[in-house]
Amino acid sequence: MTDVTQMLDDARGGDPGALDRLLAAVYDDLRKLASQKLSRERRGHSLQATDLVHEAYIRLIGGAEVQWEKSAHFFAAAAEAMRRILVESARRKKTLKRGGGRPRRELLEGDAISLDDSIDVIALDEALEKLGLEDSVKADLVKLRYFAGLTGEQTAGLLGISRATADRYWAYARAWLHDEIRRGDEKRNSSATEEQR
């Protein structure tokens, strides 16, 4: 049994520390994986969050048969880890853009991840956090689908809801988050105008 499987077991047994450790392990692995992949496959291959998560899954848990239910914790951790990687990467980019000094080696690694520019990951993260406080199931669903790259069906299975509900939640959450980010933008813009005056 790998360490990670042990952590999964512990997490399932209700040990909250195990989840943190699991998260740390997954996070670490994903970072490494992402930078390796990106350097190896710079040319001609696409890198999907899904691939990363699945590869991390295989690497950390190995060939061991893991019950689906147990792996819920894994994917939750993976989604969380992926979210952190992306948010950190986005923050760093923002800092660099502001002229926050010379990038250091460790920064470059994360920056190899090219973010989908159409999305402000930081704003999304804030909106998602808000949603999570109000309705954790819907927020988890977004995390699993978006950050861990799971399908609607997998997500439904993990969250213990029907496929139809998962789809409905998904449509709603997307619209809600989109709206929330828009509101945030408006607020920022208006306060920026305020300052100019």
Partner 1 sequence: MTSEGHDRLEELFTAALGLTSDRRRTEFLDSACSGDSELRTRIEDLLSSHGQLGTFLEDSPITTKRDPDATVALPGLSATAEVTIGRYKIIHELGEGGFGTVYLAEQEQPVRRQVALKIIKLGMDTKQVIARFEAERQALALMEHPNIARVFDAGATESGRPYFVMELVKGTTVTDYCQRNALGTRERLQLFLPICHAIQHAHQKGVIHRDLKPSNILVTMREGAPVPKVIDFGIAKATSQRLTDKTLFTEMRQFIGTPEYMSPDQAEASGMDVDTRTDIYSLGVLLYELLTGATPFDSETLKAASYDELWRIIREVEPPKPSLRITRMSGTKRETGEKTDGDASLTALSRRLRGDLDWIVMKALEKDRTRRYATAKDFADDIERHLNHEPVLAGAPSWAYTLTKFVRRHRVGVVAASFVLVAIIAGFSLAMVGLVNANRSREQLAVEANAAMIARAEADLHRDLAQAETITSATVSAFLQEMLSVVDPNEALGRAVTVRFVLDEAARKIEEGALSGQPTVEASLRMTLGRTYLALGLYDPAEKQLRAAQSICTEVHGVESPVTLRANGTLAVLLRVRGELAESEALLRRTVDIQDQVLGPDDEDTLVTRTELALALQGPGRFEDAEKILRRVYEARRRVNGEESEKTLEAMVHLGGVCRILGQTDEAQRLLRDGLHRSEQLLGESHPCTRAAVYQLGLFREDRRELEQAESLYRRSYELDRSILGADHPGTSIPRNSLLRVLRTLQKFEEMRPLVEEQIARLRRAAERPGTVASDLHSFAWVLLYCELVELRDPAAALPFAERAVDMDGGQDANYLDTLAVAYARSGHLGRAIETQRRALAQVRAGGPFNRDQLESRLVEYLILNGEFLEATKISLSDVASRVGESLISEDVPGQSEVIRSEKLMRERRYPEAVQHLRICLTSRQKSLPEGHWLIADVKSRLGEALTGKGDFLEAEVALILSHGSLTEAVDVSPATLDQSIARIVSLYEAWDRDDDAERWRQRRVRPADPGSNR
Positions touching partner 1 (CB under 8 A) are 34, 38-50, 52, 82, 86, 113-116, 118-119, 121, 131, 134-138, 142, 145-147, 149, 168-169, 171-172, 174-179, 182
Indicate the residue among 12 and 84 with the shorter CB distance to partner 1: 84
- Comparing CB distances to partner 1, the nearer of 48 and 162 is 48
Phi/psi of residue 62, each to 5°? Answer: 70, -160
Alpha helices by DSSP H, listed for 13-104, are: 16-40, 49-61, 68-97
For residues 131 and 53, give the distance between their C-alpha atoms in angstroms, rounded to a whole number: 24
* Minimum gap (Å) between residue 160 Cβ and partner 1: 15
Query: CB of 58: closest distance to partner 1 in angstroms?
Result: 17
| Shortest Å distance, C-beta 188 to partner 1 | 17
**Burial (CB count within 10 angstroms: exposed 0-12, middle 13-18, buried 19+), residue 118:** exposed
Q: Which amino acid is at 52?
A: L
| Residue (74 or 170) nearer to partner 1, CB | 170
Pairwise CA distance, residues 157 & 155, whole Å: 5
What is the C-alpha separation between 185 and 187, in angstroms, rounded? 5
In this complex, which beta carbon is closest to partner 1, that of residue 50 or of residue 162?
A: 50
Distance in Å, CB of 133 to partner 1, minimum: 9
